[in-house]
Amino acid sequence: MTQAAPQTIELHRKLQAHAHADTWSVEDVAAIFALPFNDLMFKAQTVHREHFDASRVQLSTLLSIKTGGCPEDCGYCPQSVRYDTGVTSQDLLPLDTVMDAARAAKAAGASRFCMGAAWRGPKQRDLEEVKQMIAGVKSLGLETCATLGMLKEGMAGELKDAGLDYYNHNLDTAPEKYEDIIGTRGYDDRLDTLRQVRESGMNVCCGGIVGMGETREERAGLLAQLANLTPPPESVPINNLVKVEGTPLADQEGIDWTEFVRTIAVARILMPTSFVRLSAGRQQMPEAVQAMCFLAGANSIFYGDKLLTTGNPEVDRDRALMAKLDIQPL
């Protein structure tokens, strides 16, 4: 009989010890990142199968309901008014346009419809229009999600009452890396919006972006922050930086594909009951890398031809890949 590798035994010990602890330390998360690749993948797949059907993936479609003109300075974002990226500011879409897009998403197989607006945060008059969109999409039998920026007190409750199932508000990166990427809002601002969403009773969608020049330890710090939210987010989008000409991160060197897959695997281990979403950057990934991400525990994707303002694999390509991998939509 073969014996388990020492690293695997140590991982099992850490996971057992964490069952009696309140939080993940960055050091423990970094140690999981450092496991031999095969051991890490095996553990992630094992955890995944304990909580999900490994042959099924949740499909979400994302629509930009208000594009461009954002006053924030997020270094990765082509929608910031501070950068010349070719993205022009557009008004909030009409309700009929949003409903047509939602019907098309449902017909294509999506089960969740996400609406994104390039705001620092919505004004009350904006919120009234968005609430109509939420109610309309919900009436189609789709799960609803929105990402509208920072929320003022009371707004989360209004959105939930309108029928919003998930609110997305990403932490983006580790606290110690954050100021290198964003200067117009603080980490605590993000945590405060997440608090309001959680207190409203909505599901939390919260993840981050890798490949922004962070170290592996900082990636571990991001995942520790997410896993230590109480409770962890129900949905965890992991984005690989899409480099857009005109943004400060346009020339940022990317990370190796194995490091991205490791990030997916560690997220699955730390947050075993969350949907881990393979999000932005998927268009640049070969099919084999996407397959490795599914093997590592990713069980949600954005499905369609665009993510807000950047490209995404087309529906037909996604269907073909899922067929090759014998994956079915949830």
Give the catalytic positions in this structure: 70, 74, 77, 114, 145, 205, 277
Q: Is the dihedral of CA 191, 306, 243, 279 positive or negative?
A: positive
> Are the CB atoms for 315 and 303 separated by under 8 Å?
yes
> Are the CB atoms for 141 and 106 separated by under 8 Å?
yes
Q: With left for phi above 0 and alpha for psi between -120 and 50, is residue 201 left, alpha or beta?
A: left
Count the Cβ atoms, other than its own, within 10 Å of residue 241: 22
Burial of 199 (0-12, 13-18, 19+ CB in 10 A): exposed
Closest-CA residue to 261 (of 212, 312, 298): 298
C-alpha 290/C-alpha 295 separation (Å) is: 9
How would DSSP label each residue in 228-291?
TSSS--SEEEEEE----TTSTTTTPPPPPHHHHHHHHHHHHHHSTTSEEEE-TTGGGS-HHHHH
C-alpha 43/C-alpha 47 separation (Å) is: 6
Closest-CA residue to 169 (of 146, 138, 202): 146
Tokens of 124: 């009350």
